[in-house]
Amino acid sequence: MRVAKVIVDVSTSQTNHTFDYLIPESWENIVQKGMRVSVPFGPRKVMGFVLEVSDHSEFDKLKPLDEVMDLTPVLTEELLQIGKWISEQTVSFYIQTFQAMLPQILKAKYKKEIEVLTDVEIAEELQQLFAGRAVMDFEEFVERNGNYSLLLKEVKNGHVQINYIVKSKETNKTKVFIAPNKEPYLLEEALEDTSNRAKKQKRILEYFLEQTTPIEQKQLITELSTTTATINQLVERNLLKKIEKKVYRDPFQDTDFERSKSLPLSGQQQTAIKPIWQAIEEKQDEVFLLHGVTGSGKTEVYLQAIERVLDKGMEAIVLVPEIALTPQMVQRFKSRFGSQVAVLHSALSAGEKFDEWTKIHKKEVNVVVGARSAIFAPFENIGIIIIDEEHETSYKQDEQPRYHAREVAKKRGNYHHCPVVLGSATPMLESYARAKKGVYHLLEMPDRMNEGEMPPVEIVDMRDELYAGNRTMFSRNLLEAIKTRIEKKEQIVLFLNRRGYSTFVMCRECGDVMKCPACDIALTYHKSSHQLKCHYCDYQIAMVKECQACNSKTIRYFGTGTQKVEEALREHIPEAKVIRMDVDTTRRKGSHKKLLEKFGNKEANILLGTQMIAKGLDFENVTLVGVLAVDAMLHLPDFRSSEKTFQLLTQVSGRAGRHKLPGEVIIQTYTPEHYSIQLASQYHYQQFFHQEMQTRRGFRYPPYYFLTLINVSHPNQLKAQEVTKTICKLLFKHLSDEATILGPTPSPIVRINNRYRYQCMVKYKDEPNQREIIRKIQEHYYDDIHRNDLTIQVDFEPYSLM
């Protein structure tokens, strides 16, 4: 008896374990760990992942599984292990994690087909089924009781492959090929029977007398200057046939990649790369933190580390934040490693992503460059994992499973005995602290390539503008600087923060922002109750009428959008050509790339945008970077707001003067004295690190403490509040005395889609039972969650506190 232990696609806490199914005899040798199967579950058939194959079961009557969905495992042994670990760490369901590790398409409806790849004779029994066809439906194979072990053998030999054909047209890219449908002597007979008036048909038949392999329809039409109609006539006569072949969609195929060679490394690059090379050679799972200023040549270090890995016949994973995964970035990898590179990017269609994933799965590539989920690339011989811009919050998934790609990378590095390289100009405080403690191996690259200087930063005090009667969003200096660049035909990048969700209040006269005395974060203005609230603890006061610091009455809420800025620019500098890049203008696929190309071709003077223009861009002609209102970010109700501001300013500044022309940066703010702004303008990472660490220690935040954020939502406000209160009580009772439990408090965004949101935050040093307690709490609310529309979200080490 063979038994498959299966995790089924039903996300509830009661089904979060394996179920046993009997493997029918004909599949006994086929079913392996990591394959997907279809199984009966109650009245339904559901998909499931095989976690184990065993020869016994504790249960008596086992139902047999219905179908094997894969002939080769889609999850490797390693990924199964990691999936289990992630589910446990994030308190999510196993099924959620396994699905998150695979391309979306494998969840959708699709059809499978079997394709013969070689001219070599395949097994007799299969040949009979194919009956001369190159492709057959998998369903047909099943119906006609095809021999699975034979098929599997031919798949392993590489003679046959299984294609997943997505039913939706949009994601399915195929090409039509034409091939003869009859033996040559029959075609010859047909040729003679064809009337001389049908010259075009004759030419095609003659062509296929000599040429028996399929040819793409398009090509046939050009080569023989014939028409689709003529081909169709021959297809109708059963002499030719049409074959649809799946082709890989290559999202970057329109770009020609000039091959690049590795550059002779600078001194600091050599010092940095040596220990990485050594770890590759010695198969050490060391974690490196590469702290290098923007333009210090980190990417070249990555490239040459990867080169070493490829030389050894191993594979490399490179993670780049979604918004930095620009065509420029991709090009740097493709031009070095050519078609060995697969790219996984969320802007790809589901089909394109699947194609890239397939290349990895089949080991047709050995480098993958991608956003967060590329960390699950099904490589089996990894030699290095690189995470660029490691401080980026997008490496943390913001829905279940809430994993952090960095932690998964370390786990995979551990499994493969390979180094993990975390690179950044502004490492996360947590990472730098670990490097300082020696947990990570710190590599510093403090200088820009070619003795390039970081551009000087000017801080403009917007309060002075107000005194001088300037009520616009541009300071006089910035306007002047923009005009000068336009005259010199140089370009400008203007940066505006993403509008914060919550509103903070600030005095426009003195820049003072009201903060919570206990949590050190900006208080949030609640319009309905006209109050200022801290959303970490329950501190609240009535909205103030005048500034607490200077008694001025110029208290304002904050926030402005890119569109408004664009209008204002038109008004003040009518001659400026502006490209606006934000969520609205980049919604359509490819528009991001097009807008950047336009700017690169100097079709505009100013690139105006949000976060998405802060990273990875490299334009020779940009000599001025302006940051319009840094305060919106500085006062987000988030204990990381200072750090995020520092990171952002550093990134943005790095966009100016990267080449021959000297650059300049202008930052506008109402709080010029803030240490984030001051230290960023002087590029003092170390000093910032020390100062920020003190704040974190004082207010008991990471990296000194860990955080857990529990978010409860329900259409009924009382219910949400009630449940959160109970959760707080339960945590208080079961966690140790060392833990601090804050809440219940309304979340910063109190209501989304008519659901009320409350939260509870735990600060702790070490709570080994925490996850178990939280699982129990979720089980306790099982009925409310499944029947009463309650959600309880838990985020360990949260990055977003909204």
- Pick from 154, 300, 392, 643 the residue near ligand ADP by CB under 6 A: 300
- The answer to whether residue 265 forms part of the interface with ligand ADP (CB under 6 A) is yes
- Pick from 263, 541, 583, 749 the residue near ligand ADP by CB under 6 A: 263
- The answer to whether residue 296 forms part of the interface with ligand ADP (CB under 6 A) is yes
**Which residues have C-beta within 8 Å of that of residue 2, sequence separation ≥ 6?**
22, 23, 28, 31, 53, 54, 55
- The answer to whether residue 651 forms part of the interface with ligand ADP (CB under 6 A) is no
- Pick from 82, 421, 516, 677 the residue near Zn ion by CB under 5 A: 516
Distance (Å, whole) CA 304 – CA 316? 12
Report whether 103 contacts 353 (CB < 8 A): yes
Minimum distance between the CB of residue 452 and ligand ADP, rounded to whole angstroms? 8
Closer by beta carbon to ligand ADP, 8 or else 386: 386
Name the helix (H) or strand (E) containing 796: strand 791-796
299 binds, among Zn ion, ligand ADP, none (CB under 5 to 8 A by kind): ligand ADP
Helix and strand numbers (H, E) in the chain are 26, 33
Instruction: Write out the binding residues for ligand ADP, residues 159-218 only, by CB under 6 A.
Output: none
- Give the range of 183-191, 276-284, 287-295, 529-537 binding ligand ADP by CB under 6 A: 287-295
Distance (Å, whole) CA 441 – CA 421? 9
Based on its alpha-carbon atoms, the radius of gyration of the chain, rounded to whole angstroms, reads: 30
539 binds, among ligand ADP, Zn ion, none (CB under 5 to 8 A by kind): Zn ion
Minimum distance between the CB of residue 265 and ligand ADP, rounded to whole angstroms? 5
- The answer to whether residue 600 forms part of the interface with ligand ADP (CB under 6 A) is no
- The answer to whether residue 631 forms part of the interface with Zn ion (CB under 5 A) is no
Q: How many CB atoms lie within 10 A of CB 315?
A: 25
Please, what is the end-to-end C-alpha distance for the chain in angstroms?
52
Closer by beta carbon to Zn ion, 509 or else 664: 509
- The answer to whether residue 298 forms part of the interface with ligand ADP (CB under 6 A) is yes
Q: How many CB atoms lie within 10 A of CB 472?
A: 12
Report whether 705 contacts 764 (CB < 8 A): yes
Both structure tokens of 757: 């949101």
297 binds, among ligand ADP, Zn ion, none (CB under 5 to 8 A by kind): ligand ADP
536 binds, among Zn ion, ligand ADP, none (CB under 5 to 8 A by kind): Zn ion
99 binds, among ligand ADP, Zn ion, none (CB under 5 to 8 A by kind): none
518 binds, among Zn ion, ligand ADP, none (CB under 5 to 8 A by kind): Zn ion
Closer by beta carbon to ligand ADP, 337 or else 403: 337
- The answer to whether residue 638 forms part of the interface with Zn ion (CB under 5 A) is no
Name the helix (H) or strand (E) containing 525: strand 524-526
Closer by beta carbon to ligand ADP, 122 or else 317: 317
**Which residues have C-beta within 8 Å of that of residue 53, sequence separation ≥ 6?**
2, 3, 4, 5, 23, 31, 32, 33
- The answer to whether residue 621 forms part of the interface with ligand ADP (CB under 6 A) is no
Could you tell me how many residues of this chain bind Zn ion (CB under 5 A)? Answer: 15
Residue 108's nearest CA partner among 44, 46, 174, 168 is 168
- The answer to whether residue 509 forms part of the interface with ligand ADP (CB under 6 A) is no
- Pick from 518, 541, 583, 749 the residue near Zn ion by CB under 5 A: 518
Sequence ranges of the binding site for Zn(2+): 507, 510, 516, 519, 534, 537, 547, 550
Angle at 648 between CA 642 and CA 650, to 5 degrees: 105
Q: Give all strands of the β-sheet with 531-533 in edge-to-edge order.
A: 524-526, 531-533, 540-542
- The answer to whether residue 549 forms part of the interface with Zn ion (CB under 5 A) is yes
Residue 595's nearest CA partner among 610, 579, 619 is 579
Closer by beta carbon to ligand ADP, 251 or else 654: 654
491-495 and 540-542 strand pairing: unpaired
Rama region for 657: left / alpha / beta (φ>0; ψ in -120 to 50; rest): left
Site of interaction with ligand ADP (CB under 6 A): 263-266, 269, 292, 294-300, 449
